[in-house]
Amino acid sequence: MTTLAIIGGSGLYDFNRLTNVQHHRVETPYGAPSDDIVEGELNGVRLLFLARHGRGHRLLPSEVNFRANIFALKKLGAEKVVSVSAAGSMREEIEPGHLVVVDQFIDRTKGRPSTFFGSGIVGHVMFADPVCPSLAEQLFAAASGLGIQVHRGGTMMVMEGPAFSTRAESKLHREMGVDLIGMTAMPEAKLAREAELCYATLALSTDYDCWHESEDDVTVEAIIAVITQNVNNAQAVIQQLTEDLPQERGCGCATALDTAIITDREVIPPRIRDELKPIFGRVL
Ligand SMILES: [Zn+2]
């Protein structure tokens, strides 16, 4: 049975369509993940759900323990990860309420631990294409099949936050070719690649960033209505995805570490090798 993990962002704190539900409190070498991981079944797929900010939304983007989250999901057997993220739109055509299956990121986060390497293991994974092409295609197909407004491809800038951009920054980001702005897809995507997980982001456009003239008149009610609709759409897309999810992983994600590790195997500390077995065990 394929194991699909869902990391839920703002608004998506649980996934109540599962059967055979179990809760896992996982400890990792990096500490605890954002919350318990909920395991269940949906359409013959084993599904793991993790609320990125914790249930009740307790963690700032900067406070999310991304390494613990990815480590815990991998330890529980995840092969694929769908990351659901609320985002601001930098393009007129990406309207609030639209979904985007992004394919590129620009990392503007600051000081977040972003690798499982270090402590005696040096390695570099390929990251030119940070999103799994197969999983992204399946996500897009699921959303379009439901008649939801969805865009295929796009560049998401990931900023540190928690404050939103200044107007000058927002205009600059548009000139840089950014389509969406968010706060959490990095370093999540990098860590997923190092953990040899297929990773794709389903971005939920909640508003136009402050570059757009209409932003001055936005009401809280309007934003909440959009978030509610987005979360319902994201749940429907995930349900549809599980109906058609192939067992095979026709992509290179599962072998991302084949040529990544440079350190001489002889000098890798046994304790680290042991601690990081869920991540590096296949190649060490
Ligand atoms: Zn993949």
> Which tens digits make up the pLDDT trace of 1-13?
899 999 998 888 8
Cis amide bond preceding 133, omega within 30:
no
pLDDT for 244 equals: 87
Average pLDDT (180-202) is 98
Report whether pLDDT(41) > 90.
yes
**Ligand 1 midpoint to CA 208 (Å):** 31
Domain total of the chain: 1
Q: CA 177: distance to chain centroid? A: 21
Active site residue 217: no
pLDDT over 70 for what percent of the chain? 99
- The tokens for 197 are 């997980």
Average pLDDT (41-61) is 95
| Catalytic-labelled residue, pool 35, 36, 179, 209 | 209
Mean pLDDT of the chain: 95
Report whether pLDDT(220) > 80.
no
Report whether pLDDT(177) > 70.
yes
Q: What is the pLDDT of residues 97-134, one digit of tens each?
A: 999 999 999 999 999 999 999 999 999 999 999 999 99
Phi, psi dihedral angles at 82 (to 5 degrees): -105, 120
Q: Please give the residue that has the higher pLDDT: either 16 or 152.
A: 152
Active site residue 207: yes
Domain region containing 194: 3-280
* Distance separating alpha carbons of residues 21 and 243, to the nearest angstrom: 18
Lowest mean pLDDT among 25-29, 212-216, 226-230: 212-216
Q: pTM for the complete prediction? A: 0.96
| Catalytic-labelled residue, pool 207, 217, 258, 274 | 207
**Ligand 1 midpoint to CA 256 (Å):** 10
Calculate Rg over the CA atoms of the chain. Answer: 18
**Ligand 1 midpoint to CA 250 (Å):** 7
* H/E stretch holding 68: helix 66-75
Phi, psi dihedral angles at 62 (to 5 degrees): -70, -20
For residue 200, what is the domain's CATH number? 3.40.50.1580
**Ligand 1 midpoint to CA 58 (Å):** 31
Contact 136, 105 (CB under 8 A): no
Q: What is the pLDDT of residues 59-89, one digit of tens each?
A: 999 999 999 999 999 999 999 999 999 999 9
Report whether pLDDT(217) > 70.
no
